[in-house]
Homo-oligomer: A and B are copies of this chain.
């Protein structure tokens, strides 16, 4: 079935795509110096003409597997699913495959083995944690590696993250501008950069406004809807409950909204709730959640770009890229209710 199709030459392709043969060749070899517009045009022609580059022959010549390892966790979390989706789309556009390891399912030693066996040309880590090892093993083993979404301060490798601290600071400033002085925090263990930086940004905002954060207003748990649900019920059982709650992820905030509703509370009249990430659900009518948008696509684009550059030039100095996040004000937040003050 493919033999007839493969008679098309790169010269034919160049003509059809309206580019030079050299450009076609760059697209076929995943060269980083091709504009997205040009790449897309060439790939479109490739697809329309059912042209299959002989990846296997190329892999044998280059010693590359054309496969990237994606080490992640929490696939069922909407944010992480969207991240994986963006990574898959970006890698596919470069004709790269992805092997996905969920670090919650695989023993960490399996990731270590992958590096030793050179099953992948490079690795993307989305869930780096201060207490995890596989990302460090990847870097030590010399496998080109990029961290996206979560970073690690002390790891010498390319990293692309959102500006979580500034995003949370802006959200905190906004809640304070609304008139809140009793603001709760539903957060995670301090073992990941996203959680730590968002908590710091939130505390920065309170400190600048001279607002105290009593220990009783901080609920530190895990990352699921049910954790947000339980946490908000705990906060609202306090003698003087908060009038607003900042949850360090949207999924915790969605849980908090449902937990508040289970108590008969109206959002935002009785309680303002805000999250972080801007997952698709945050915009749905039932939640209409104030949050901070993480530039997921841009983080992934930059991360994959850096990874491909590193595969071609392993000696380049690693860079840490921090991309701005954007406050999104929706209906789940407002001024504190008169009854509560």
Does A75 contact B67, Cβ atoms closer than 8 Å?
no
Query: Shortest Cβ distance from A183 into chain B, in angstroms?
Result: 23
A214 within 8 A of B: no
Q: In residues 81-126 of chain A, which contact B (Cβ within 8 Å)?
A: 81-82, 84-85, 88-89, 92-93, 95, 97-102, 105-107, 109-110, 112-114, 116-117, 119
Number of A positions contacting B (CB below 8 A): 53
Query: Shortest Cβ distance from A69 into chain B, in angstroms?
Result: 9
CB nearest to A261 among chain B residues: B285
Contact of A286 among B78, B99, B258 (CB under 8 A): B258
A284-B254, A286-B258 known; A102+B89 contact, CB < 8 A = yes
Does A47 contact B107, Cβ atoms closer than 8 Å?
yes
Contact digits for A234-275, partner B, Cβ 8 Å, 1 yes 0 no = 000000000000000000001101110110000000000000
- With a cutoff of 8 Å between Cβ atoms, the chain B residues found around residue A257 in the complex are 286
Given contacts A56-B113, A97-B101, A262-B285, 12 further A-B contacts (CB under 8 A): A2-B109, A47-B107, A52-B109, A67-B99, A75-B88, A88-B101, A92-B102, A92-B105, A97-B110, A97-B114, A100-B100, A258-B285
Binding site for B on A (CB under 8 A): 1-2, 43, 46-47, 50, 52, 55-56, 67, 75-76, 78, 81-82, 84-85, 88-89, 92-93, 95, 97-102, 105-107, 109-110, 112-114, 116-117, 119, 225, 254-255, 257-259, 261-262, 280-281, 284-287
Query: Shortest Cβ distance from A99 into chain B, in angstroms?
Result: 5
- With a cutoff of 8 Å between Cβ atoms, the chain B residues found around residue A76 in the complex are 78, 81-82, 85, 280
Does A105 contact B88, Cβ atoms closer than 8 Å?
yes
A47-B107, A81-B76, A286-B286 known; A117+B55 contact, CB < 8 A = yes
CB nearest to A69 among chain B residues: B97
CB nearest to A267 among chain B residues: B286
What CA separation (Å) do A259 and B1 show in the bound complex?
A: 47
What CA separation (Å) do A95 and B116 show in the bound complex?
A: 16
Does B84 contact A110, Cβ atoms closer than 8 Å?
no
Query: Shortest Cβ distance from A338 into chain B, in angstroms?
Result: 26
Does B102 contact A99, Cβ atoms closer than 8 Å?
no
21 A–B contacts, CB within 8 A, in A order = A2-B109, A46-B107, A52-B109, A52-B112, A52-B113, A56-B117, A75-B84, A76-B85, A88-B102, A89-B105, A92-B102, A92-B105, A92-B110, A97-B101, A97-B119, A100-B100, A254-B284, A254-B286, A258-B284, A261-B285, A261-B286
- With a cutoff of 8 Å between Cβ atoms, the chain B residues found around residue A225 in the complex are 280, 284
